[in-house]
Structure 1
C-alpha cells in the first residue's frame, strides 16, 4: 500500500481527522469564489515553495532571476507558511521583493490580488487556498519526469477525480523542457497540449551558469568538494525504503579502498522524504558511511543544484536528477535494482534501457569498475549522453526565466 493510500485509509476511518480532510479539499471552493470577485494587480507575481516550507527548486531560481531582471516591472512576492524563511530570504530588507507569511492578513490579501501564482509541487504549496480563472497559475514542477506523475500515477479513482477538479484543472500553464516531455506531462496531468509550455526548467539556469564556476560558499563549508566527487542520488519508493547498495557482494572496505586510491568521495543522498528514515537509522547511512563515503543529507546540502557543479560522476536510478545532469555532459551510472517491481507499482514513461546513457550495475564489483572507468575516461559514453540530452532538453542556454517572462507577457497581452 502506498503512502498516500495509507493516509487516505486513516482519514476515512478516523472520525476526528475526517473534518480536516473535508476542510482541506472543500474550503478552497469558497475561496475561489472570493478570488473571482477580488480585483487583481496586473504586475503582482507570487512565488511559492515546497509545501510552503522551503526556498528551493524551480521556484527559488525563477524568483531570483525575476528579482534580478524584472523587479522594476513587477511586484515580486515570496509567500511562505514558514516564518523562519522571512528573514532568511530577505536578510538585507531589499525593496526589490517581499517575503510574506501566508497565514496573515497581508498574506491573504496578497494572494487575492495576485495576477500570477507559481507552484513547484502543487496545491499544498499554498495550503487551504485556491484561485479562480482570473489568476494565471503556472506549475513549474520539480523535475523532468521519467516516471509517472499526477493522475498518470494515481489512475482513475475518486481521489484523483477530486484532485483534478480542485487542483490540476486550475493550472493555466505547466512548464516543461522538451517536446517529448511536453507530451508525457500533458498525458500524465491531463492538461491540453497547449497548456504545457516548453521553456526549460529555471533551476537548470543555475546549473548551466555555474557549470564551470561552482559555489565558492559551498566549497568553503566543505573543502573536500575540490576532490573527485561521486554523488549517489536515488529516488524514493512508494512502499519500501531505498537500498543504496543492493549487492550480494557488497563491501564497504572495497569501496573505500577504491575511493582512497582515486582521492575521491562518494556522497549518498536520498530523496528528501527518505531523510526522515535516515534520522531514525532506517537507511543505510549509518551502516554504510565511513571514511570517504559521506551521508550528503538534505540537512547537509539543502539545495542539490548547488552541489551538482562539483559532481564528476552521478549515480542514480529513476530520479529526474540525472536528466538535469545531462546538461553537464558528465558520466552517469545506474543502479535499477528493482526495475521490474518499480515499473509495476509506479510505472515509467519511457523504455528505461533506451533512455539511460550509462552502465547498469548489479554487483559491488561492477559498481566499482564503472566508477573506475569513468574516472580514467570521463568522455566515455559522451555521445550517448548528448543524444539523450537532445531528447529531454530543447534549450541549454540558461534562459528559461526569459521564456517564462515572455509567457506571462503574452498571456497579459491576450487578455488586455
Structure 2
C-alpha cells in the first residue's frame, strides 16, 4: 500500500511540474535565493546587488524562507518576499530566470513553481572536497524507477559559472550539463574583496563589538568547514586538539591580533558566549551571514578544508592550514587533489602549533610565491569584474537585449 501511495504522489508531482512548465514566463523577472532560503549572502547576493544597480531593465527579486532575510533585503532598498507568501508564489510562477548558489531549495522546496524558468547555478565555492550530484529521486519516492530515467535525461541547469578551467570540468560532471553551459567568469562574491563603488556599505556588528572591548592591529579569521557525520558539532576541533585560552591569547597579544571563530552554516559549536577568551571571539552563522562583507579586513586566515581559502588567495595574504583531523576527514569526504600540494601555507596539527605559527606568519610571509601559483591555477580573474561577466552570460542565455550600465 505504501509503495502504491508513494508512486501516485510521485506521478502527481511529475504532472504538476509538467503543467507548471507550460505557463508563460517573463524573461525580465529574475528571482534570487541562497543557502536554502536562510540568508542573504554568497554569489547570489552580490549578483543581485549588481543586477539592480547595472541592469535596471530586469526586475530582480529576492525570495527567502527566513523573514529576517526579507527584512534585510528591504532595508537596503531591495525587493524581497517569503517563498510561502502569496506574492512569493505568484512571482515564482511567472519568473523567467531563477538564480541560486546551492540549488532550487534556495528559492523553495516546491521547485515545480518555477519548472519552466531558466535556472542559473552560481554555486558557492571552488571545491577542494569531492562533490556529489544532488539525488533528486530515491527508491522511497520513486519505487518504480521512473525518476532515475528522468534524472539522466532532464536538463538541470541552463548556465553554470566557474572560476577556472579545472573547476569547469568538475562542474560539468557534477551538474550533468554540457561543457558549453559552464562559463568561466569568476565568482560574484569575490568582487566584494576589492570594495567596488556599486556595493552598499555594510556594518559588521561582531567586529564593532570586538573593537569596543579590545584594540587590535590584525584580525585573524578561523573558518573550519562542516562535518557530515554525527550532529555536525565542531567543538571537538577545540576539545580534542589542545585549545588552551592562555596559550592562544599570549600568541595573539604578541601579534597585536584577535581571533574570530566563524562556523559553517551547517555546523554547531558548544560555547558559553560570543567571547571565548580575552582575544578569541565566536560568531555563529546566524550572527554573521556573509564573511565577504569583512574579508578584506582579515590579515590571516586559518582553515582546514573550506573553499574560502581559494577566494582568500586573491587578497595575497597568509593562510595557516589546520587539518587537525585530515586522516579521518578524507575517509568520509575524499578530496580532489593532494591536500599538501594544493594548500600554500604552513600546516598546524593542533592548537599549540597554531599558537606558534601566528606570530611567525604575521612577521614573515614565506608562502607568497606558492600562493600566487595556486591562485593563478584556480582564479582566472582578479579584476573585480566577475559580476559583469556573469550578468552578461545570463543575459545571453535568456536571449535578452539591453546594455549594462
Alignment of 1:132-211 (within 5 A): 134-151=116-133, 165=150, 169-209=155-195
| Contact 2:322-2:350 within 8 A present in 1 as well | no
Q: State the Cα deviation string for residues 357-392 of structure 1 (Å, max 9, x = none).
A: 011111444222221111112x32111111101111
8 Å CA contact retained: 1:52, 1:82 = yes
Counterpart CA distance in 1 for 2:116 and 2:242 is: 59
The 1:288/1:90 distance shift into structure 2, 3 A limit, reads closer
2:79 to 89, 98, 101: 98
Cα distance in 1 for residues equivalent to 2:40 and 2:241: 40
| Unaligned segments of structure 1, at least 5 residues | 1-14
Q: 2:287 aligns with which of 300, 305, 310?
A: 300
In structure 1, the partner of 2:262 is 269
- CA distance in 2: counterparts of 1:123 and 1:40, whole angstroms: 17
Q: Which residue of 1 aligns with 2:60?
A: 76
Q: Does 1:384 align with 2:377?
A: no
Contact kept, 8 Å, 1:208 with 1:396, in 2: the verdict is: no
The Cα shift of 1:245 comes to 3.5
SS in 2 for 1:274: coil
Q: TM-score, normalised by structure 2?
A: 0.84
| 8 Å CA contact retained: 1:255, 1:368 | yes
Higher alpha-carbon deviation: 293-302 or 41-50 = 293-302
Change (3 A) 1:170 1:208: same
User: How many angstroms does 1:48 deviate by?
Assistant: 1.4
Match of 1:40 in 2: 25
Whether contact under 8 Å (1:246, 1:362) holds in the other structure is: no
TM-score, normalised to structure 1, is: 0.82
- Report deviation, 1:229: 1.2
| Equivalent position SS for 1:239 | coil
Q: CA deviation at 1:395?
A: 0.8
Instruction: Go from structure 1 to structure 2 and tell me whether the alpha carbon gap of 1:89 and 1:205 turns closer, same or farther (over 3 Å shift).
Output: same
Residue aligned with 2:112, SS:
coil
Residue in 2 that maps onto 1:11: none
Structure 2, unaligned runs of 5 or more:
none
Deviations 1:228-268 (A, max 9, x none): 11111110111143333476654321111111222211111
Following the alignment from structure 1 to structure 2, what is the Cα–Cα distance between the partners of residues 85 and 259? 34
Alpha carbon RMSD of aligned pairs, Å?
3.4
The structure that is helix-richer by fraction is: 1
Whether the 8 Å CA contact 1:33–1:132 is kept in 2: the answer is: no
Counterpart of 2:44?
Answer: 59
CA distance in 2, matches of 1:226, 1:20: 59
Measure how far apart 1:353 and its partner are. 1.1
**Cα separation, 2, equivalents of 1:246 and 1:188:** 35
What is the CA-CA distance between 1:286 and the residue it aligns to?
Answer: 6.8
What's the offset of the Cα at 1:327?
0.9
| Residues 104 and 391 (structure 1), Cα distance of their counterparts in 2 relative to 1, 3 Å cut | same
Q: How far apart, in 1, do the equivalents of 2:251 and 2:176 lie?
A: 47
3-state SS of paired residue (2:227):
coil
